[in-house]
């Protein structure tokens, strides 16, 4: 599959555009290619979006909702084909990708409902003849930067609220994994997106992403990215003060209290550490365990990691696939080496697997490090790969210092039986979401986003609409009815 740019309701493959080859992570074989957008292409898409922005803003909410509903139906109809293509370009098992695609459709349905629930308010006035009306209007041309780890899902997280709000949308999908997204774009187009209201332009962050960030006609950027990428977006956007909604790096702590069900907690940590081979913003790389139960927990997690079968995600029997590319392997190996050098012990995994099935792909065994020093890389930096590092704590105060001591603040997990202290601990954790006895903090109806260096702004829930809307106060003087008579 060789894809180009979607602008003004049609696909374009301009001559001379730079091309990027997409490689299947499990085999190292070519899957397809994509053109890479430059500043000229970005300008063309922004001009088309700006031209139709007033009409799209004026489109009745029910019409925009109907577009989202139709797109969701089309995605559901094509979900299996999209999931297979996503596995070939990204690596996750087909079953996981099928869940991703279907959840993306649910996000569009949710924002179809939110589109017709948006409202304003009549506020109290300072005088009898004054009326204060507060309305919310579309901010204008929106841009979205989508990551490679959950491209279809996170595309919908951004497209759903933007379309519901009435904002034309320009998306820079990941150049590493843009193929299934092309199918998603076709669904939105066939659902009735007016020409100009949707553009899809794969490109490199320092080129296409930077062009969107500094473009004066782009009013809002929503990005899911690393902290350095988010900082680059802020710098580029600073000259025009556009709105930003940034979900950045996570490095979530997984906390196991002394009274936790150890087997349950270990299974939860295993899934949260190694699902998508740890390539998730809410992945667990650092595990903080109460000292009395650390040995039992570490043994249980190590056993689960050693029993994990990895392979080609196209195999229906496989639950854990490859990482995206060799740079992920290099980063995991570097974090592991740093932890071991400083005194940590590898108790599971720790290497590239042997065998012909793994020879040409990008695989790394799920890795568990015990007694990881707090100054080691897995404890201080997001690995974004299949590595879980364990450290002990002696009391709640020490644990909170360990959990809150980094600049990350996206998600945290907390396992224990006594809910009374868990509630207080959850409140004390400096993170945008806390999972208590659950290992997933995402919920369609609830806001998702980070504290501190993990970003600002929220996605999902009613809050997901806010970045795409601007409040307007209309103050009106009215006549006394008796004066009219």
Let me know if 167 is a catalytic residue: no
Give the C-alpha separation, 406 to 152, whole Å. 30
Say if residues 446 and 460 touch (Cβ distance below 8 Å): yes
- Reference 443, options 423, 461, 425; nearest CA is 461
Question: Which residues 6+ apart lie within 8 Å of 259 measured at CB?
Answer: 416, 417, 418
Let me know if 299 is a catalytic residue: no
Q: Which of 167, 187, 281, 300 does the annotation list as catalytic?
A: 281
Give the C-alpha separation, 429 to 316, whole Å. 38
Q: Which of 44, 114, 247, 382 does the annotation list as catalytic?
A: 247
142-145 β-sheet, strand order? 10-12, 5-7, 198-200, 169-172, 142-145, 220-224, 243-247, 455-456
- Residues annotated as part of the active site: 247, 281
């Amino acid at each position: 599959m060789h894809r180009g740019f979607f602008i003004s309701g049609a696909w374009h493959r301009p001559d001379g555009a730079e091309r990027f080859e997409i490689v299947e992570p499990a085999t190292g074989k070519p899957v397809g290619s994509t053109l890479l957008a430059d500043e000229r292409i970005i300008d063309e898409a922004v001009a088309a979006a700006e031209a139709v922005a007033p009409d799209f803003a004026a489109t009745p909410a029910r019409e925009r909702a109907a577009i989202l509903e139709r797109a969701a139906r089309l995605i559901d109809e094509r979900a299996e084909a999209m999931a297979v293509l996503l596995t070939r370009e990204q690596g996750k098992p087909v079953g996981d990708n099928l869940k991703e695609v279907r959840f993306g459709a649910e996000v569009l349905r949710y924002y179809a409902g939110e589109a017709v629930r948006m409202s304003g308010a009549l506020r109290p006035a300072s005088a009898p003849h004054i009326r204060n009306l507060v309305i919310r209007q579309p901010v204008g041309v929106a841009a979205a930067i989508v990551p490679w780890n959950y491209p279809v899902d996170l595309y919908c997280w951004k497209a759903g609220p933007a379309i519901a709000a009435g904002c034309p949308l320009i998306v820079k999908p990941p150049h590493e994994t843009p193929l299934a997204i092309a199918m998603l774009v076709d669904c939105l187009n066939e659902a009735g997106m007016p020409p100009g209201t949707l553009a899809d332009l794969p490109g490199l962050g320092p080129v296409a992403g930077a062009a969107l960030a500094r473009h004066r006609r782009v009013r809002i950027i929503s990005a899911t990215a690393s902290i350095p990428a988010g900082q680059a977006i802020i710098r580029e956007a600073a000259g025009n003060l556009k709105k930003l909604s940034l979900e950045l790096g996570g490095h979530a702590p997984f906390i196991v209290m002394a009274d936790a069900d150890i087997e349950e907690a270990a299974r939860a940590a295993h899934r949260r550490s190694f699902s998508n081979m740890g390539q998730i913003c809410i992945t667990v790389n650092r595990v903080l365990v109460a000292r009395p139960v650390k040995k039992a927990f570490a043994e249980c997690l190590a056993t689960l990691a050693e029993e994990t079968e990895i392979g080609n995600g196209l195999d229906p029997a496989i639950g854990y696939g490859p990482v995206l590319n060799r740079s992920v392997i290099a980063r995991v190996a570097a974090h592991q080496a740093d932890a071991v050098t400083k005194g940590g012990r590898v108790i599971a995994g720790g290497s590239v697997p042997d065998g012909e099935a793994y020879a040409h792909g990008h695989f790394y065994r799920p890795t568990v490090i015990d007694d990881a020093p707090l100054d080691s890389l897995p404890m201080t930096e997001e690995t974004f790969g299949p590595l879980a590092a364990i450290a002990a704590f002696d009391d709640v105060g020490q644990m909170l210092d360990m959990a809150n001591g980094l600049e990350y603040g996206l998600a945290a997990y907390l396992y224990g039986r006594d809910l009374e202290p868990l509630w207080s601990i959850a409140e004390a954790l400096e993170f945008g979401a806390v999972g208590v006895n659950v290992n997933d903090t995402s919920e369609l109806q609830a806001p998702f986003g980070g504290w501190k260096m993990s970003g600002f702004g929220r996605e999902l829930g009613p809050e997901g609409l806010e970045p795409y809307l601007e409040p307007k106060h209309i103050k009106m003087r009215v006549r006394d009815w008796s004066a009219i008579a």
